[in-house]
A and B are shown apart, each in its own frame.
Chain A
Amino acid sequence: DAGITQSPRYKITETGRQVTLMCHQTWSHSYMFWYRQDLGHGLRLIYYSAAADITDKGEVPDGYVVSRSKTENFPLTLESATRSQTSVYFCASSLRDGTYEQYFGPGTRLTVT
């Protein structure tokens, strides 16, 4: 299917476990982003990538790792999950930087117990 997809849509994990959230886009957009959405904080940028093999930190990167070996994929890994990482995670993509819109995936609801 065309567009931007995320998997899994829902995930429950335990404190200390590693978990990877997947993001895939079919538009060949250069830029991809990971946000988290929390009550009282809105959406905050975790990491972004300008192209394959180029990534940069956003506002709240601690505890997260990203990679981008292929243009279409941008996985987000929580190396040792903590309860404070319970959130809804959104992946987004943009054709290029600057004037272009960001398009969002459906989100992954992650619960860390």
Chain B
Amino acid sequence: KQEVTQIPAALSVPEGENLVLNCSFTDSAIYNLQWFRQDPGKGLTSLLLIQSSQREQTSGRLNASLDKSSGRSTLYIAASQPGDSATYLCAVKETSGSRLTFGEGTQLTVNP
């Protein structure tokens, strides 16, 4: 059974700092990996989708990498801003079936 782990569970940084969020998964037979952002009381917003054949994806200040063989992904946020404060979730889609398996998220606070 696929398990997705995100460490740390919570992170607090000062504004302007570059930071890395980690995601690990136990079964490397994945189709893709998706990073989401969730604001309190809101739904999930898709940030980046990395296909299993890709090593990284970039969108603005966000860069996500994928190392399928080691079962790891990282989300790099450059020059963090208070508006980046949210919970960040990663989810993997396995090669069989349609479900996403989610980690429990990293709650990020960026202090002004």
Which positions in A face B, CB cutoff 8 Å? 31, 33, 40-45, 48, 50, 56, 58-59, 90, 92, 97-99, 101-107
Contact = CB atoms under 8 A, between A and B. Distances in A.
A50 to B, nearest CB: 7
B61 interface: no
A103 to B, nearest CB: 6
A41 B34 CA distance: 18
Given A90-B43, A107-B42, A102 B102 contact: no
B76 interface: no
A90 B44 contact: yes
B71 interface: no
Interface of B is mostly: strand
B43 A107 contact: yes
28 contacts: A33-B99, A33-B100, A40-B104, A41-B104, A42-B104, A43-B91, A43-B100, A43-B102, A45-B99, A48-B99, A50-B98, A58-B99, A90-B44, A92-B44, A97-B98, A99-B32, A99-B49, A101-B34, A101-B46, A102-B34, A102-B100, A103-B46, A104-B43, A104-B45, A105-B43, A106-B42, A106-B43, A107-B42
Interface residues of B, number: 21
Contacts of A104: 36, 43-46
Contacts of B100: 33, 43, 45, 102
A99 B51 contact: yes
A21 B104 CA distance: 24
A44 B1 CA distance: 13
A105 B46 CA distance: 11
